[in-house]
């Protein structure tokens, strides 16, 4: 492995980021690097575009292309749809001007190419009388011209993917997919084109495998896959195994180039790589960082940057629900940090304001925001009501101190009292016409949460480039345990795809792994979560979340089973949960009735939470599956469904 090369190319990364080198310095650096460059090297442009900002993306690409030209590399490979940005949504349907612009910018970029081949993803018009308006294409450019374009065949349309919605699937056309790079034949495939191996997958989504077609019909020396492949829990396991399998099966090296950076909900982790013809990993770029990553397909001993810490473990472990979230924590942290950074940067915001309750959700949110935006750009506000404990107030303050973020405390008593007084009059009036007042309502709880929302949005209205933060977590969103216009309202929701048990693990991980140790007060992690919006009449103390809901360990396993195994109540009754195992060992087993009650409560509460999911602010997708509306959509009007399967006999009986 060529260590000098990678020490030197770090300077290119820095220059691309900060533009810190003069023309002379660039030439000198190039000269130095060339001494270490294997012949016929190519560079993987692991780069972060902004959706729709074609001019910005083009100008950025030019700097990368100029470095590739300067080093006289054989080729520079950009990710899928780099020029227009991925994902682009329905934007291209309503504003075809954007697609016209991406064609013209591509043509303009082509004039800057030399003998170094440039491969770049863009959106192409489908000029035929049939089919969808566009193709998802890769342009091959060199010597001042666009040589040809290669079109994507397999168009994913599940979960967060909507390719088939916008693009016409292209014929495989294996001959057209071959290009010469320094006298070698490279076969080009585009992302999903490489995910349909008939031997690797038990069930295939598509009828053709473009990889097989290209290999069998054209015998390329190696394959290049231009991707925009999204990070999800456990996806690395699948991706590594599949790419390695395909390279070995076809005895053909695979070069995989991935986008890095975040859209509003989806995140790309980079980690571009090369597998040799035996399926061995020979190169891997950094994760969650832009990188000008030079590789030599023939070098068996390339540069392998590590994956996020612990992630390798997910390659073999975590096939069942586990409270050992450890192997996924660094990836989770990096995904959310990148999401916050990119969402703020790409929408033009700089500052965040959030309520600090002294609870786990707002605490972890504050740490992540501080790391992503810088402590001075975060304002934490403690907004105690009469139910808020002194301990919570202290915890909030201590946390802010530890992080060095801005902090103030502002009691909401007067706001709540004034509102409550208004409500008393109003409700008596309404009651005369509507004889349907609840005996017990959440009105008081919500006045507190909404007064806090009012304050945070007020700050965002008054100070420039500032977004308020919604701190709801995934476990609570499933339960609808979040207040509309209260804690679930904001411009961004960093934790909406992180379950509560994982949040506890993440808090401990942050205390151990951030440069500043133990920023989160131990008391925050130690206490049992509660919204501090109401008093539990049974205990006389603030109501705990687990009293209102069910044990988080149990709840999170239900969520995991719904998302990953698509299980029903019946399925779940037949298996022992981790929480049940624990309680059994402690000689306090969970009764069958209790389990059924919790499961029914879960589905009942989930069903009435569907509306809340649709009005959640943007939030990063992190888990293997999510309820993020960019990924999952269930009609709100399905909220009355019974998730219990009935027997066929019962059905006949119902029909009479």
Q: Which of residues 550-609 bind its own copies (CB under 8 A)?
A: 562-563, 566, 568
Phi/psi at 493 (5° precision): -130, 90
| Comparison of 363 and 626: residue with beta carbon closer to its own copies | 626
Q: Do residues 468 and 490 lie in contact, with contact meaning Cβ atoms separated by under 8 Å?
A: yes
Q: Is 19 an interacting residue with respect to its own copies (CB under 8 A)?
A: no
The residue from 114, 218, 305, 639 that contacts its own copies (CB under 8 A) is: 639
| Comparison of 389 and 406: residue with beta carbon closer to its own copies | 406
The residue from 69, 322, 594, 634 that contacts its own copies (CB under 8 A) is: 634
Query: Closest approach of Cβ 656 to its own copies, in Å?
Result: 8
The residue from 3, 130, 390, 587 that contacts its own copies (CB under 8 A) is: 130
Q: Is 421 an interacting residue with respect to its own copies (CB under 8 A)?
A: yes
Q: Is 219 an interacting residue with respect to its own copies (CB under 8 A)?
A: no
| Comparison of 183 and 440: residue with beta carbon closer to its own copies | 440
Task: Tell which positions 479-518 bind its own copies, by CB under 8 A.
Answer: 484-485, 489, 491
Q: Do residues 256 and 337 lie in contact, with contact meaning Cβ atoms separated by under 8 Å?
A: no
Task: Tell which positions 84-113 bind its own copies, by CB under 8 A.
Answer: 85, 87-91, 93-98, 100-101, 104-105, 107-109, 111-112
Part in contact with its own copies (CB under 8 A); list of ranges 292-300, 313-321, 391-399, 643-651: 643-651
> Is the dihedral angle over the CA atoms 102, 105, 107, 110 positive or is it negative?
negative
Q: Is 525 helix (H, G, I), strand (E, B) or coil?
A: helix
Cα separation of the two ends of the chain: 76
Q: Is 218 an interacting residue with respect to its own copies (CB under 8 A)?
A: no
The residue from 18, 183, 462, 586 that contacts its own copies (CB under 8 A) is: 462
Site string for its own copies, 61-80 (x = CB under 8 A): -x------------------
Q: Is 200 an interacting residue with respect to its own copies (CB under 8 A)?
A: no
Query: Closest approach of Cβ 293 to its own copies, in Å?
Result: 24
Q: Is 312 helix (H, G, I), strand (E, B) or coil?
A: helix
Distance CA 637, CA 265 (A): 25
Query: Closest approach of Cβ 168 to its own copies, in Å?
Result: 9
Q: How many CB atoms lie within 10 A of CB 628?
A: 26
Residue with tokens 């612009």: 101
Q: How many CB atoms lie within 10 A of CB 381?
A: 22
Query: Closest approach of Cβ 590 to its own copies, in Å?
Result: 23
Looking at 473-527, which runs of residues are DSSP E strands?
Answer: none
Residue with tokens 């539990």: 536
| Comparison of 351 and 500: residue with beta carbon closer to its own copies | 351
| Comparison of 104 and 575: residue with beta carbon closer to its own copies | 104
Burial 199-223 (b: 16+ CB within 10 A, else e): ebeeeeebebbbbbbbbeeeebbbb
The H or E element that residue 361 is part of is helix 360-373
Q: How many CB atoms lie within 10 A of CB 383?
A: 25
Task: Tell which positions 133-162 bind its own copies, by CB under 8 A.
Answer: 157-158
| Comparison of 320 and 641: residue with beta carbon closer to its own copies | 641
CA distances from 654 to 484, 522, 555, 646 (A): 38, 56, 32, 10
The residue from 176, 218, 305, 347 that contacts its own copies (CB under 8 A) is: 347
- Measured in whole angstroms, the distance separating CA 513 from the mean position of its chain's CA atoms is 21
């Amino acid at each position: 492995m060529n260590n000098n090369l990678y020490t030197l190319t770090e300077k290119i990364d820095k220059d691309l980021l900060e533009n810190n080198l003069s023309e002379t310095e660039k030439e000198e650096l190039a000269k130095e690097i060339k001494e270490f460059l294997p012949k016929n090297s190519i560079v993987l442009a692991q780069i972060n575009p902004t959706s729709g900002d074609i001019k910005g993306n083009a100008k950025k690409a030019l700097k990368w292309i100029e470095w590739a030209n300067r080093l006289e590399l054989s080729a520079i490979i950009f990710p899928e749809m780099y020029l227009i940005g991925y994902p682009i949504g329905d934007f291209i349907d309503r504003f075809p001007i954007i697609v016209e612009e991406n064609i013209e910018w591509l043509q303009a970029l082509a004039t800057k190419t030399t003998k170094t081949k440039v491969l770049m993803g863009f959106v192409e018009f489908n000029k035929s009388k049939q089919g969808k308006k566009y193709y998802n294409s890769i342009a091959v450019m060199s010597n001042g011209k666009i040589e040809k374009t290669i079109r994507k065949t397999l168009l994913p349309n599940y979960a967060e993917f909507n390719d088939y919605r916008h693009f016409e699937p292209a014929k495989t056309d294996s001959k057209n997919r071959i290009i010469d790079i320094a006298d070698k034949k490279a076969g080009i495939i585009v992302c999903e084109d490489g995910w349909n191996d008939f031997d690797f997958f038990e069930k295939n989504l598509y009828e053709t495998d473009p990889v097989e077609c290209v290999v069998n019909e054209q015998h390329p020396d190696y394959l290049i896959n231009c991707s925009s492949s999204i990070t999800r829990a456990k996806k690395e396991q699948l991706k590594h195994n599949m790419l390695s399998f395909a390279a070995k099966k076809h005895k053909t090296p695979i070069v995989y180039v991935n986008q890095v950076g975040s859209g509003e909900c989806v995140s790309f982790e980079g980690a571009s790589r090369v597998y040799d013809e035996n399926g061995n990993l020979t190169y891997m770029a950094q994760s969650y960082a832009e990188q000008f990553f030079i590789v030599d397909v023939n070098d068996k001993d390339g540069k392998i940057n590590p994956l996020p810490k612990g992630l390798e473990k997910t390659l073999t472990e975590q096939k069942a629900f586990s409270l050992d979230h450890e192997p996924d924590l660094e990836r989770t942290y990096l995904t959310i940090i990148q999401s916050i950074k990119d969402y703020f940067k790409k929408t033009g915001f700089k500052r965040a304001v959030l309520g600090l309750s002294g609870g786990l959700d707002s605490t972890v949110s504050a740490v992540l925001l501080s790391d992503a935006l810088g402590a001075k750009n975060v304002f934490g506000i403690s907004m105690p009501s009469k139910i808020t404990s002194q301990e919570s107030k202290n915890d909030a303050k201590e946390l802010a101190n530890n992080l060095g973020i801005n902090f103030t405390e502002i009691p909401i008593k007067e706001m709540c009292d004034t509102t409550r007084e208004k409500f008393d009059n109003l409700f008596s009036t309404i009651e005369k016409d509507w004889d349907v007042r609840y005996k017990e309502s959440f009105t008081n709880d919500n006045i507190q949460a909404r007064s806090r929302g009012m304050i945070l949005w007020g700050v965002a209205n008054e100070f420039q480039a500032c977004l308020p933060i919604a701190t709801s977590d995934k476990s609570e969103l499933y339960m609808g345990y979040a207040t509309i216009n209260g804690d679930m309202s904001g411009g961004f929701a960093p934790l909406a795809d992180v379950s509560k048990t994982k949040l506890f693990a993440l808090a401990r991980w942050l205390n151990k792994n951030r440069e500043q140790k133990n920023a989160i007060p131990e008391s925050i992690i130690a206490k049992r979560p509660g919204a501090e919006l109401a008093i539990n009449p049974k205990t006389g103390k603030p109501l705990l979340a687990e009293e209102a809901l069910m044990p988080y360990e149990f709840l999170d396993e239900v969520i995991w089973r719904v998302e990953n195994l698509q299980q029903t109540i019946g399925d779940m009754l037949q298996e022992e949960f981790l929480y049940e195992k624990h309680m059994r060992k402690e000689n306090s087993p969970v009764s069958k009735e209790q389990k059924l009650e919790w499961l029914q409560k879960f589905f009942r509460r989930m069903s009435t939470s569907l509306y809340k999911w649709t009005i959640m602010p943007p939030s990063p997708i992190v888990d293997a599956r999510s309820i993020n509306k960019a990924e999952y959509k269930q009609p709100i009007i399905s909220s009355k469904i019974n998730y219990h399967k009935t027997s066929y006999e019962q059905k006949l009986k119902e029909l009479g």
